Homo-oligomer: A and B are copies of this chain.
Amino acid sequence: MMEKFDVHILGCGSAIPTGRHLPTTQVVNFRDKLFMIDCGEGAQLQFRKQRLKFSRLVSVFISHLHGDHCFGLVGIISTMNLLGRTAQLHLYLPLGGTEVLKPMIDYFNREMTYEVVYHEHDTRKQEVIYEDRSLTVETIPLCHRIPCCGFLFKEKPNPRHINREMVDFWKVPLYELERLRRGEDFVTPDGTVVPNERLTKPADPSRTYAYCSDTAFHPAVAAQVLGVDVLYHEATFGEDNRNRAKETFHSTARDAAEIARRARVKKLVIGHFSARYEDESSLLREAEEVFPQTVLARESLVVSVG
């Protein structure tokens, strides 16, 4: 069975609140570690409602410093302090973000039970800002009114699966297995080379998730998210508001679908819906015309990656 790689939608509205959507927040569950992407007002309430565990949250990535993407930060950080968290929390902010948010976080958390580690990223660069044994996260430069980037979650290459029968047949010692998983051949004591493919089965494919919000239609994105399993792309407006999208540096549903089509992704999720849409069926229709494998984000939706 593949290890967990899910995206939880906690909010997929835009700046003006509605009764239907919360502002943008997502949580990536990668092998039971939780990575939050953006943190709109109410994120901690929805986090709790969706039965996610604060203790599993390791990092928060903020795409840009518009309120609907970060007003929930000080709340969730304060709550974890009240709960007595001890593990570090890593906070990834656009350049200058620390200066804006840290004073507020510090004021309301004078005695802190854990450390918030501040990192800043240059939203104009495409670079790896997080890496562990099995995952990297890199920035995706976007085109918005203020510096803004998306995030590309890439699972590292998985180990190949041992073919138990063949390994027994060739009497491969236990300490050699790790090398086989990495794809190396086996050499018997008498010098025979057994090709790796005879001893192992292919690794599970490495899975990828790309988050792109907020942005005007920005074709350069397609190159960076080429072939990802799941692309979340903002679709604030429909074609009825194409001019408004242009003015505000947002995308239409069709723009989002066009990026997905060019990048040949497996699945597109659209969100960041303007408050003016009573339901988003027209946005879905417009996206599907360009890219059929589209779904609408909604609160509590869980999307499996890969």
Bound together, the chains give a CA A41 to CA B108 distance in angstroms of 14
Q: Which residues of B contact A107 (CB under 8 A)?
A: 65, 100
The answer, yes or no, to whether A16 is at the interface (CB within 8 Å) is yes
A21 — nearest CB in chain B belongs to which residue? B45
A77 — nearest CB in chain B belongs to which residue? B67
A103 — nearest CB in chain B belongs to which residue? B103
One of A68-76, A132-140, A156-164, A249-257 contacting the partner: A68-76
Pairwise interchain contact B41-A22, C-beta atoms closer than 8 A: no
Residues of chain A from 156 to 180 with CB closer than 8 A to chain B in the complex: none
Q: Which residues of B contact A66 (CB under 8 A)?
A: 108
Would you give the 0/1 interface string for A69-106, flagging 1 where the beta carbon is closer than 8 Å to chain B?
00110110011001100000000000000001001100
Interchain residue pairs with CB less than 8 A apart (21)? A15-B78, A15-B79, A15-B82, A16-B79, A16-B83, A17-B44, A17-B45, A17-B79, A18-B48, A41-B41, A41-B42, A41-B44, A42-B45, A66-B108, A67-B74, A67-B108, A71-B74, A71-B78, A71-B108, A100-B107, A103-B103
Residues of chain A at the chain B interface (Cβ within 8 Å): 15-19, 22, 41-42, 44-45, 48-49, 65-67, 71-72, 74-75, 78-79, 82-83, 100, 103-104, 107-108
